[in-house]
Amino acid sequence: MRVFTRRAHASHAVGRRAGAVALLLSTLLAASACAPDSSSAGGSGASVPSAHTPSAEPAPAPTASPRSRVQEIVTQMDLAQQASAVVMGNTPGADPVAMRAMMSRGFGGFILMGSNVPATPGDLHAMSEALTIDPALPPLIATDEEGGDVVRLPWDDQPGADVLKAQPAGATRAAFARRGMLLAQSGVTVNFGVVADVASSPDSFIYDRSFGTDPAAAAERVDAAVRGEASWVSTTLKHFPGHGAAEGDSHHMIPSTGMDLETWRSEVAPPFLAGIRAGAPIVMMGHLAYTAVDAQPASLSPRWHQILRDDLGFRGVIVTDDLDMLVDSGDPAYADEVSDAVQAVVAGSDLVLALDGAGPDTAQKIADGLVAAVRSGALPADRLREAASRVVALRLDIADRRH
């Protein structure tokens, strides 16, 4: 994601929320079912039900299962709507009319950047409401609020990883709980804000934004950050499989490393695994090449998506980092953001992020490209449907949380 740095101006619902998302996704994609258990207890000390039978009340209408809700919505979408549902875009400025016009095209989400953020939390909340065409299926309203050097909301005065890495993990949980509350009060529902990268050294590009160089200490703080935000927003772990080992700035190049998979498992993976186990519903793929595993950037690599799903057990939404970063890398193989988007979804991403220099036309061009790829056979229709289903499941979870 394009990052512009600036300093900011001066609950225990994780199990419930993570469980809701896991239920939506596991029932849809793993198709497992279980029947509720019932039990009774008796004995001399047990309370005895009253013999009086209360007047009968109409039985509530049966609630659709999470799987059926998702299936019903996605089945009713045509191909173009499914393609739009897996695109998160942006249009510059704080004009809610222009932003709402963009979202009326059915995109799955909107990412808020600095130019989109008005002066007060109330104004931002009103803007976020304007972006919601259907309250029953709200779009993902996202930003990257890490704290420290990477902030979008001027009223976020909580520390980031640059400070928290030197403090007990409890401080991380408290800071991210406060940050999550500020985001929720501002109408933001998704935070691309938990950096799970293990920095290779204090000189690393990602060091100030990470929780440090020790995998175990970083994992403990990533766990705390996820649990802190969980009551308020959908948390995102980034930049999988790890920016710390792949040196360089991925905004201008494709950082690479020859690290093998076993070393990665022990030195880089622990914070991501900790965040997944803590219930993070989103993981962002980095434009990073681990050449001993796959020469392609992880964001376009089926192998890395498989590792995230099968080895780390992640069942949530996989989002790309900003696709324009691939274009800016200078590698001619990645010069077309539409082709990059198609490759990312084919590889296993569920949501593609079109950010830098983007607008409604950029997001629409990507959605149209996904449609064309399905029609040509380059993108399997089932893969697009699966991606749309995961995004819809997350959007439904957000809608349920609001109520």
For residues 101-105, average pLDDT: 95
Specify the higher pLDDT residue, 113 or 12.
113
pLDDT at residue number 52: 38
Q: If we measure between CA atoms, which residue out of 300, 284, 309 comes closest to residue 192?
A: 284
Based on DSSP, count helices (H) and strands (E) in the chain, helices before strands: 15, 10
Report d(CA 227, CA 240) in Å as an integer.
Answer: 19
φ/ψ of 178, rounded to 5, equals -65, -40
Specify the higher pLDDT residue, 20 or 361.
361
23 in any annotated domain: no
Report d(CA 233, CA 182) in Å as an integer.
Answer: 10
Range name among 208-222, 295-309, 326-340, 350-364 with the lowest pLDDT average = 350-364
Tally the domains of the chain: 1
Predicted confidence (pLDDT) at residue 28 exceeds the cutoff of 70: no
Characterize 39-57 residue by residue with b for buried, 16 or more Cβ atoms within 10 angstroms of its Cβ, and e for exposed: eeeeeeeeeeeeeeeeeee
Tokens 């509530």 sit on residue: 60
Give one word for 331, left, alpha or beta, with left for phi > 0 and alpha for psi -120 to 50: beta
Looking only at the bridges linking them, the beta strands covering 317-320 and 282-285 are parallel
> What does the block give as tokens for 226?
């996820």
pLDDT at residue number 3: 53
Predicted confidence (pLDDT) at residue 44 exceeds the cutoff of 60: no
204 in any annotated domain: yes
Q: Which domain holds residue 170?
A: 80-402
What is the domain-level CATH number for residue 286?
Answer: 3.20.20.300
Predicted confidence (pLDDT) at residue 102 exceeds the cutoff of 70: yes
C-beta of residue 74 within 8 angstroms of C-beta of residue 389: yes
> What does the block give as tokens for 33?
């079912």
pLDDT at residue number 10: 33
328 in any annotated domain: yes
Q: List, by residue number, the catalytic residues.
A: 251, 321
What mean pLDDT is reported for the chain? 87
Q: If we measure between CA atoms, which residue out of 311, 301, 205 comes closest to residue 262?
A: 311
For residues 302-307, average pLDDT: 99
SS (H, E, C) 226-255: HHHHCCCCEEEEEEECCCCCCCCCCCCCCC
39 in any annotated domain: no
Report d(CA 387, CA 57) in Å as an integer.
Answer: 41
Report d(CA 295, CA 331) in Å as an integer.
Answer: 13
Report d(CA 41, CA 154) in Å as an integer.
Answer: 56
Name the DSSP class of 147.
B
pLDDT at residue number 38: 33
C-beta of residue 144 within 8 angstroms of C-beta of residue 1: yes
pLDDT confidence band for 357 (50 / 70 / 90):
low
pLDDT at residue number 21: 44
> CA torsion, points 89, 94, 96, 98, in degrees to nearest 10?
-60
> CA torsion, points 375, 140, 114, 244, in degrees to nearest 10?
-80
The string of pLDDT tens digits covering residues 243-292 is 999 888 788 889 999 999 999 999 999 999 999 999 999 999 999 999 99
pLDDT confidence band for 50 (50 / 70 / 90):
very low
For residues 98-127, average pLDDT: 95
What pTM, to 2 d.p., does this model score? 0.85
Report d(CA 91, CA 107) in Å as an integer.
Answer: 12
Predicted confidence (pLDDT) at residue 29 exceeds the cutoff of 60: no
pLDDT at residue number 248: 83
pLDDT at residue number 31: 38
